[in-house]
Structure 1
């Protein structure tokens, strides 16, 4: 009987933690921007919805699509691995943006009323610590 109780509690607690982390991610706003003189792209993710804007002035309405459950779970998994307080300290592995070799990219996270933002990095070559998250965010534009 103790074995069944332990199994039930373990299963129950693991499910509640998983749903709690997804709820936390639903409360977060992820904003990825990449731009150069002739290129602009802003990807905003909030509550299982992605909005993509290619208009720097904000006059055009962004394209909005829903994120599938599979993609959302993957995104939540990547989001859980990053340390938000360390986000500003992450360094990009390349410096092509300094001579127009790559667009300048930034990732901003608004979570529980606090804003966390990376220093700039090359679009397509993010810091190693957030690479999986940024790559996943960019897949929503290619679809």
Structure 2
């Protein structure tokens, strides 16, 4: 009987944590920007919608897409594994952007009325702590090219 209770409690707590992460993501704004002289991409994610802009001057209207449930679950999972307080201290793994080998990328997260922003890093080479989240965001934008 104790074993069954323990299993049910574990399942219940596990579901509660994933729902909490999902609710947290619904009230979070994530902005990923990559730019260089001839390239610009800005992806803003708010509550299962992504707005993709490839025009730095803002002449063309940004493209808005709905994020599928499967992609949203991946984003929620990746977001849940990030320590937001560490984001400003993340080190860039490469410096290709210094010689035009990669676009300059940046990740900004607005969570519970507080902003978290990374230092600049190379587009395609994010810091390990945010790699899954950034790669998922980039893949969503590539689908709509």
Counterpart check, 1:42 vs 2:42: yes
Query: Residues of 2 paired with 1:7 and 1:134: CA distance?
Result: 34
Shift of 1:6: 4.3
Q: Which 5+ residue runs of structure 1 have no aligned equivalent?
A: none
Query: Residues of 2 paired with 1:95 and 1:130: CA distance?
Result: 17
Query: Residues of 2 paired with 1:6 and 1:89: CA distance?
Result: 39
**Most deviating of 12-21 and 44-53:** 12-21
Q: Deviations over 1:7-56 (max 9, x none)?
A: 44433332222111101011111100000111110011110111100111
RMSD: 1.4
Within 5 A, what are the aligned runs for 1:86-101? Answer: 86-101=86-101
* Runs of 4 or more above 2 Å deviation: 1-14
Q: Which 5+ residue runs of structure 2 have no aligned equivalent?
A: none
Query: Residues of 1 paired with 2:86 and 2:116: CA distance?
Result: 9
Instruction: State the TM-score, normalizing by the size of structure 2.
Output: 0.91
Instruction: State the TM-score, normalizing by the size of structure 1.
Output: 0.92
Aligned residue pair count: 143
